[in-house]
Amino acid sequence: MRTLAIVVLLAALAALGACSSRRMSEAEEPAAQRGATAPVPQEKSTGAAPGNASTIQDGEMKPASLQNAQNSQPNVTVTERKLIRNADMLLESANPSESQRRISSIAEAHGGFVVTSESKQMNAQGQLKPETTITVTVRVPATQFDAVVNEIRGSGSTVTQDKVTSQDVTEEYIDLEARIRAKQALETQFMEIMKQAKTVAEALEVQRQLSDVRAEIERLEGRRRFLENQTSLSTINITIRPPTQIVSSTGFFYSVKRAFSDGLDFAAMITLGLVQLVVSLLPILLFIVLPAFLIIRYWIRRGQRRAPDVTVPQPPPPPATAT
């Protein structure tokens, strides 16, 4: 404990030296520019050595220099706003495959690439030929987003739906930068304390807190990289399908055609019902009716073979007459 108190005292002295130099620089400024400041309340004694400006947080002793590193956030400036821009488009084309190739060429010409491409065929009601629907997702540089969208609109296909969204993440990005730098300063302070540790217990305690800070830095940097990726590349989702066929639903010929179609559907339904009835009765005929018929026929024939032959007496011939 004495060694830890010495280490904490050295860190506190360094922090006090930095604070005194800052106060000396502030004293040189005019009083009107500084403005009135409220007195800073004195911290309660924690039982540390005299002159040790340390505080208790979460049951652990932390020097004032580490508290300043955690609470202070350096000023971060961003030269341009961070915007996440995406688009969803629905196109109608007589040749969806050709439109797909054209969109891929437009994206690659502007430094982008195709993320996914999916083709699906489905039979629409009243149509014999299946329709092909293609879904394409491309990512292009944010600086080329407007140019790519305009070229897709003018590619010859009919744009039936067009949605562009923007999300401003500048404030979150600046906050991430500030938090990362504050955590990195805290990590540097822990590294200095690690070098001055004299016992294994002190080294393990500092290592535990250093691991927590390092994990937090990795999490913040991962979020920052995600925002940089989303703001540097824009996503465009395009759905391509054939033009919708407009069929007139009125008129004499349409009524005749509809009646004939309904008649065919009714005849097909009756035929299907008969087939289902025969298929349903087939097991009954094979396993019940047919064996019963064969058994009855067998017993009838057997009874006929055992019955005695009954001869019918013939009448006597008539007597012969003398001539």
Q: Which two tokens stand for residue 312?
A: 């019918």
24 in any annotated domain:
no
Q: Which two tokens stand for residue 278?
A: 């025969």
157 in any annotated domain:
yes
Range of the structural domain that residue 105 is part of: 73-244
Per-residue pLDDT tens digits of the chain, which is 323 residues long:
445 554 454 455 445 444 444 443 443 343 333 333 333 333 333 333 333 333 434 444 444 444 444 444 444 444 578 999 999 999 988 888 898 999 999 999 999 999 999 988 876 555 556 788 899 999 999 999 999 999 998 877 788 889 999 999 999 999 999 999 999 999 999 888 888 888 888 888 888 988 999 999 999 999 999 999 999 999 999 999 888 765 555 667 777 777 888 888 888 899 998 898 888 888 888 888 888 888 888 888 888 777 555 555 666 676 666 55
Q: How many domains does the chain have?
A: 1
| Rounded-to-integer distance, Cα 175 and Cα 15, Å | 25
Angle at 37 between CA 34 and CA 42, to 5 degrees: 135
| pLDDT recorded at residue 218 | 94
52 in any annotated domain:
no
14 in any annotated domain:
no
107 in any annotated domain:
yes
Evaluate the CA torsion angle 226, 228, 231, 234 in order and state its sign.
Answer: negative
322 in any annotated domain:
no
User: pLDDT digits over 117-176, tens only?
Assistant: 998 887 655 555 678 889 999 999 999 999 999 999 887 778 888 999 999 999 999 999
Residue 61: what residue type? M
195 in any annotated domain:
yes
What is the pTM assigned to this prediction? 0.52
43 in any annotated domain:
no
At a CB cut-off of 8 Å and minimum separation 6, what does 195 contact? none
